[in-house]
């Protein structure tokens, strides 16, 4: 596993965590935060995470924990997600 993730690597990990649902992730605050939304099959917003700080998204372990928690919330709501693990 890599020590520190770049913004692009973190966004890739975030987007891949919610397949087959659509996820839009974007950097904010001069790339010191990443916000993301996960959309359902009908385009409705299922989850919004407004501000994942650099200290979280740059650390693969911390980001993996955050994404796993959001995945579990969606699975508990009945959405089927593809198997996933942190790619970095």
Using 50, 70 and 90 to split pLDDT, how confident is the model at 81?
very high
Residues present in the chain in total: 88
The predicted model gives 37-66 an average pLDDT of: 96
Query: CA 41, CA 8: separation in Å to the nearest integer?
Result: 25
Q: Map residue 75 onto helix, strand or coil.
A: helix
Using 50, 70 and 90 to split pLDDT, how confident is the model at 2?
low
Query: CA 88, CA 72: separation in Å to the nearest integer?
Result: 20
pLDDT for residue 9 is more than 80: yes
Query: CA 36, CA 78: separation in Å to the nearest integer?
Result: 20
Q: What is the mean pLDDT of the chain?
A: 95
pLDDT at residue 88, rounded to an integer: 87
pLDDT at residue 30, rounded to an integer: 92
């Amino acid at each position: 596993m890599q020590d520190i993730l770049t913004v692009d690597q973190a966004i890739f990990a975030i987007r891949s965590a919610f397949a087959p649902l659509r996820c839009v992730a974007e950097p904010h605050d001069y790339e010191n935060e990443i916000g993301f939304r996960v959309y359902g099959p009908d385009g409705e917003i299922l989850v919004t995470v407004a501000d994942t700080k650099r200290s979280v998204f740059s650390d693969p372990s911390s980001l993996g924990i955050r994404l796993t928690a959001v995945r579990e919330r969606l699975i508990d709501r009945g959405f089927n997600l593809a198997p996933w693990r942190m790619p970095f």
